[in-house]
Chain A
Amino acid sequence: MKKLTKTIDVPRIIIGVCLILWGIVIFYPFYNAILNSFMTEVEYMQRPFALYVNNPTLSAYRKLIENANIFNGYKTTLYIVLLNVPIGLLLISSMAYALSRKPFFGSSLINNAIIFTMYFGGGIVPYYILIKSYGLMGSPLSIVVGGLVDGFNYILIKNYFYSLPAELEESAKLDGANDLVVFARIFLPLAKPVIATVVLFTAVGKWNEWFHPMIFISNPQKWPLQLILRDIISDVSANLEKGETLAEGIISGQKETFAVNVQMAALVATMLPIMLVYPFLQKFFMKGITVGAVKG
């Protein structure tokens, strides 16, 4: 006890409290959204600033499953993530291996060509025309093909390959292995930590993608999760524009509006996978920023 009283450090406690308060400001809206998704509409009107739910109900989730394309959304999003991530990883890591070797004819040109795409692009309109010209419009494949060679991830893996000792390659080559074998059997397995980071970043990026799906895919049956959520939520802003309050909008029922609890249920459904996975994989995410140093 004596020791404890001795080490009480007032400024440190103040800093701790400040950090906790902002932590609550970040945390509470999430918590509140989750609570709202289990509330009846009546309870939400009475006490939206809640710490617990009086009469929890699954009706919002039931409505969500009945009314919205939520399962199609999961399917499309998973389809996009599960195709894009491994293909992208294969393209990037094989390029990163080749371009982390001794310079050879064309190597720096290709390296620069990858880096250049990080800072300059044709813009959305030429890309839209391109997707159209490949006949990908309306298909989730239009999202799969997006950003397969990402410059930042490429640099991350390439730097990692650089850092591996040169003897690894040399001794394998003396044993008669060619570059394909050295890459697939030695370098790739050794790069597991950095690959985990790259996989997580691309997977989250694709999970969150909504803009390209919005302009490429018009059929709601083929929308990814984010777009379905956007559709459900945007009703609120529509009401707001008419100067109507949310409650009035729902009560007057002039528009087919999803009630707040259904909106929050959709929101929870969309962010839940990230929420469940993030705390356990945080260190891999952090590595992405500390290894690569700069990514805005």
Chain B
Amino acid sequence: MGKTERKDAAVALPMGRMQWIKKNILPNKYLYLLLLPGVLYLIMFPYRSMYGILMAFKDYNFNLGITRSPFVGLKHFKNLFGDTYFWIVFFNTLKISFGRILTSFPFGIIFALLFNEIKGKHFKKTLQTVYTFPHFLSWVVVSGIVINFLSVSGPLNQLIAVMGNEKVVFLGSKKLIIPILYITGIWKEAGWSSIIYLAAISGIDSTLYEAASIDGAGRWKQAIHVTLPSIRSTILVMLALSIGRCLDAGFDQIFNLSNSVVQSTIDIIDTYIYRITFMTAGDYSYSTALGLFKSVIGFTMLFLMDKVSRKIEGVGIISGKGSV
């Protein structure tokens, strides 16, 4: 967008700089004033922090600062791609993300379809309060509940013991930890994501249902042949968004539920970055390179999924041009 404006400015210049300012800047002086604090913030924080990406191409030295640290080109990226552990966490990240999409993604839709069949207004609202509430808690709180609930002396194991079975070390099991991530993820988020689909369902033209029921379609057939096709675009947009975000495998959840037994099983890019940066004497440049790799791939994925989504459904996932 910036390009066209610069062209306007160039065309306007012969008019004389003062005149151009009079025509374009002065009438909007209060708008510029309103923008000023926010723009200063953007420059001082998000964009200055992006400038720090340069570190990925330098050997960062705190005393020299980002600008004066020596330039080393792609050295850190070469090291990164030669680092076998990097590939392990990379594939762990993809595995967990796509595992989530396969196992957890449908639950929001299922809950929405079920809620749609419920009639009692208060009953529905109360249930929705319960279903959506965990979304607003941090993973610190939720993992506190999960750890207590699944611990060896916790309620679930007590129940297992009463039924005469052997106790299970849920969170200390390499086999169980990934399913636990999925289930606790559904527990926390599925109710909230069903709200999006319910909003889409509430926009469906009721004559479609009337027509379907005249044709003899029961509740089940109406859900399959009317409701689902009507919210298809919402579903695909949400799916595209999830795929676009596949490099975010859930740092908050994994970090708070992890322990040394299962750590290697659920080590993802973000936990790896955290560990090599803050738990050891970190090589900031290397970590930045890793972070940049993640950001660039993530951004590209989102961009691609946006294109795909626009092509199939005519709705993009990258918001900004008016409403989504």
Contacts and interface: CB of A to CB of B under 8 A. Distances in A.
Interface string A106-136: 1111111111011111111111111001000
A126 B140 contact: no
Contact of A101 (B2, B31, B49, B295): B31
A79 interface: no
B117 interface: yes
Nearest to A210: B140
Contact of A233 (B47, B147, B156): B147
B83 interface: no
Nearest to B171: A240
A175 to B, nearest CB: 15
B148 A264 contact: yes
B84 to A, nearest CB: 22
A136 to B, nearest CB: 11
Contact of A19 (B127, B219, B322): B127
A232 to B, nearest CB: 8
A290 B128 CA distance: 15
A294 B158 contact: no
A260 interface: yes
Contacts, number: 308
Contacts of B258: 237
B137 interface: yes
* Residue in A98, A107, A204 with the greatest tally of chain B CB atoms within 10 Å: A98
Question: A interface, how many residues as a size bin?
Answer: 35 or more
B23 to A, nearest CB: 9
Contact of A130 (B5, B25, B52, B133): B52
Interface of B is mostly: helix
A215 interface: yes
Contact of B34 (A149, A180, A286, A292): A180
Interface string B1-35: 11001001100000000000000110110111111
* Residue in A12, A99, A128 with the greatest tally of chain B CB atoms within 10 Å: A128
A111 B319 CA distance: 11
B319 A294 contact: yes
Contacts of B179: none
A15 to B, nearest CB: 5
B196 interface: yes
A293 B151 contact: no
Contact of B295 (A112, A120, A237): A120
A159 B53 CA distance: 32
B216 to A, nearest CB: 16
Contacts of A236: 147-148, 151
Given A26-B134, A105-B5, A125-B291, A49 B155 contact: yes
Interface stretch (B86-94, B204-212, B271-279): B271-279
A78 B33 CA distance: 30
B199 to A, nearest CB: 4
Given A95-B39, A162-B322, A267-B141, 4 more contacts: A45-B153, A110-B35, A133-B65, A179-B34
Sorted nearest first, the 4 A-B pairs with minimum C-beta distance are A126-B52, A123-B291, A208-B138, A179-B30
Interface of A: 11-12, 15-16, 18-20, 22-23, 25-27, 29-30, 32-33, 36, 45, 47-50, 90-92, 94-95, 97-99, 101, 104-115, 117-130, 133, 145-146, 148-149, 151-152, 155, 159, 162, 178-180, 183, 204, 208-211, 215, 226-227, 229-230, 233, 236-238, 240-241, 243, 245-247, 260, 263-264, 266-267, 270-271, 274-275, 278-279, 282, 285-286, 289-290, 292-294, 296
